[in-house]
Amino acid sequence: MTAPARPVNDLDDRVVGYLAEDIANPDLANRQRLGKALPMLSRWRATLLRDRLLQEFRGTVQGGPFAGLVGLIEVLEGCHVPKLLGSYERELHDIVERIVAAPYDVVVNIGCAEGYYTVGMARRMPATRILAFDTNPLAQAACRRLAERNGMAGRITIGGTLSGADFARWQGQRVLVVCDIEGAEDALLDPAAYPALDGMDVLVEAHDCFKRGMSDLLVERFRGTHRIEMRRQQFMPFDLPAGMDRSPELDRILALWEWRSGPTPWLFLTAGGGG
């Protein structure tokens, strides 16, 4: 499979510009500008690594709970290499294994992006109805393509905007809500406004980096009705595929880097365990 175009086409020129100009003039302003070069260099190196691994793995996820997922040649949200390796969000891997073993009737994935979780769960939960939502039409199209590559197109329903009132459509069923909507989770995950959530399990990424105190707010809302587990991002060990153990140490570190701009703790909220 051909690797997609780099997400920032002028990345090389921008990095070279920062380095050439700012290293030669190490005053305070240039040191501040030079500080921006490290993330740019890291993304540049991670992009080269992605291109190599796409050719080597041909878009197939190598490990983790979604090992064997094929055709992951485009990523609409965040990093690509950790998803290819299967190391992505390693702090959730044991929760994902509990989820795929549970008898859910419906999974509602809000903010599905390219479909890593949507299609990954569809492959492992053959008896579960999978619904995916994303307000970005490009994400909807990418998720649809990934579903088709994995033979899951008939198993997954893909839509745009989901409102809180829509939760009532699945009330009374065993439902898991997977929510990753970049800081809008407080508007949607409100059981006082949408009481159907009281009986649903929820796996939500709380974007404290965008709205300070988001995770605390969600914990308070669900404390009385749900058992709450919080998982914070951490750099956890992961067995890299054969061959990568001979890669430079920096490449092995960058392979596991998830490009986060700040804290985004996950909450797993299990209905019926509050109090």
Q: Which of 37-46, 63-72, 225-234 is the least confident region?
A: 37-46
Residues 213-233: b if buried by 16+ CB within 10 A, e if exposed: ebbebbbebbeebbebeebeb
pLDDT at position 237 is 74
pLDDT at 1: 45
Residue 48 scores a pLDDT above 50 = yes
**Is the pLDDT score of 5 beyond 60?**
no
Output the pLDDT for position 241.
85
Q: Which band of pLDDT confidence, cut at 50, 70 and 90, is reported for residue 37?
A: confident
Residue 197, pLDDT above cutoff 60: yes
Mean pLDDT of the chain: 88
Write out pLDDT tens, residues 154-178: 999 999 999 999 999 999 999 999 9
Residues in the chain: 275
Cβ pair 61, 68 in contact under 8 A: yes
Tens of pLDDT, residues 229-253: 999 987 777 888 887 878 888 888 8
Q: Is the pLDDT of residue 34 over 80?
A: no
pLDDT-based confidence at 8, cuts 50/70/90? Answer: very low
